[in-house]
Structure 1
């Protein structure tokens, strides 16, 4: 496997390709499902996955795994109703992507102790909305006024206002002043997205090679992630996960976190041979 990139200019990525890749891994509970299958490292039936994720109902787990199968992240050992799921090679190759996202989150979003799957999903909710990457790329060149952003990205005014408000709420974009015409600029967190985009771009090339016939990922994103404000749903599970405890997480190469009561701790054994 080629060496993973360590730095990458934000403006050098293909924004549409990155967004397509993020839309595969961004829908809620995808990271938790991947990490559960990775930790167990064996085929698992829906009820077995659900048993490891007690804050998600079994029907939700079933639907999530079915979408992940359509997106090439998991495969089934058989075609009968109860056939178990396991990670595909594409799903197994997500470790560097998760690690980059977790590093970025810890450095620029929150120092709070939480399960790694929760941290990654929190970060992905900020990144995988439609045209977010394009807006960040546009602002990477320096502050720009609203009209210039809409022109460069190709957004209508109403959609651009909605997206910029969300990016501000998520801590990726800020306004340089209080006047109507004052430009928008990237925050420190927005400016630091190079490594995240590098790893997503690297992973997306594998998506293109191995899942050319899979359903277009944007369709899955539109079905499952419609851009509700961060924290608008799942508040109870998120609070429960923050209270959970777990073993040291070698996959992400970070110091020991207060580990979740639930199963997905994602140790090095989760992705054998995939250390730093």
Structure 2
């Protein structure tokens, strides 16, 4: 029997879920139900055809989507149980980002979720959210500092801000999802890392020092 690794599994889950187009595809099907596989492109006109097919195939391999085969060649693409359960995760992440204007005050649902996942795919940030006083001052905390998740105390240790404490609650939802679907997380960690979500290194720019920021516009998706 494997030993539970809540921090590592949450980080792995965040890394998997922040892959290109994942939030867009999962949230669309979660909102509107299964879509016919042969007309998927009409549902996602903003996603290039080759990227959409790659995304759908990858999400099936990772256990988040499934295709219910039918004889009329109109097989619907639908969420697995793991995919359905992401609704609570996305809601928790989006609610935190909206409350704390992350990454900016005016962002849509998909961007909020992706930017927050990008924070949680950093194991140092997750470790700080779980035990801020266990890490002395150091460069590994720079993302959490610039995101306003932690502050510095007089005793030489970090403390959680209100935003950090509330992100810890969202992290718990993600951790519970990973624990409920260990096979999905295991599948993700057994594969090579994929590409991050669209321009996410720009979306999450405020979490890094100014030298790492970019002026590339953030993409917008409907919600």
| TM-score, reference length from structure 2 | 0.73
> Secondary structure at 1:86's aligned position in 2?
strand
Cα distance between partner residues in 2 of 1:125 and 1:92: 21
The answer on 1:28 being equivalent to 2:5 is no
> Secondary structure at 2:107's aligned position in 1?
coil
> Secondary structure at 1:94's aligned position in 2?
helix
Say which of 42, 62, 65 aligns to 1:71: 62
Q: Any conservation in 2 of the 1:94–1:203 contact (CA below 8 Å)?
A: yes
Greater CA drift, 18-27 or 182-191: 182-191
> Secondary structure at 1:193's aligned position in 2?
helix
Which residue is equivalent to 1:137? Answer: 130
Cα distance between partner residues in 1 of 2:20 and 2:55: 8
Provide the alpha-carbon RMSD of the alignment.
3.6
After superposition, residues 1-276 of structure 1 pair within 5 angstroms as: 14-45=6-37, 48-78=39-69, 84-110=76-102, 112-139=105-132, 141=133, 144-146=136-138, 161=139, 163-174=140-151, 183-208=157-182, 211=183, 216-219=187-190, 222-225=193-196, 228=201, 230-231=204-205, 235-236=216-217, 238=219, 240-241=220-221, 260=222, 265=223
Post-superposition offset of 1:122 = 2.0
Post-superposition offset of 1:143 = 7.0
Cα distance between partner residues in 1 of 2:42 and 2:64: 20
Q: Any conservation in 2 of the 1:27–1:225 contact (CA below 8 Å)?
A: yes
> Secondary structure at 2:82's aligned position in 1?
helix
Cα distance between partner residues in 2 of 1:220 and 1:172: 30
Q: Any conservation in 2 of the 1:19–1:131 contact (CA below 8 Å)?
A: no
Post-superposition offset of 1:237 = 5.6
Post-superposition offset of 1:31 = 1.0
> Secondary structure at 1:67's aligned position in 2?
helix
Aligned length: 206
Post-superposition offset of 1:175 = 5.0
Considering fraction of residues, name the structure with more helix: 2
* Runs (5+) with no aligned partner, structure 1: 1-12, 147-160, 242-259, 266-276
| TM-score, reference length from structure 1 | 0.61
Post-superposition offset of 1:15 = 0.9
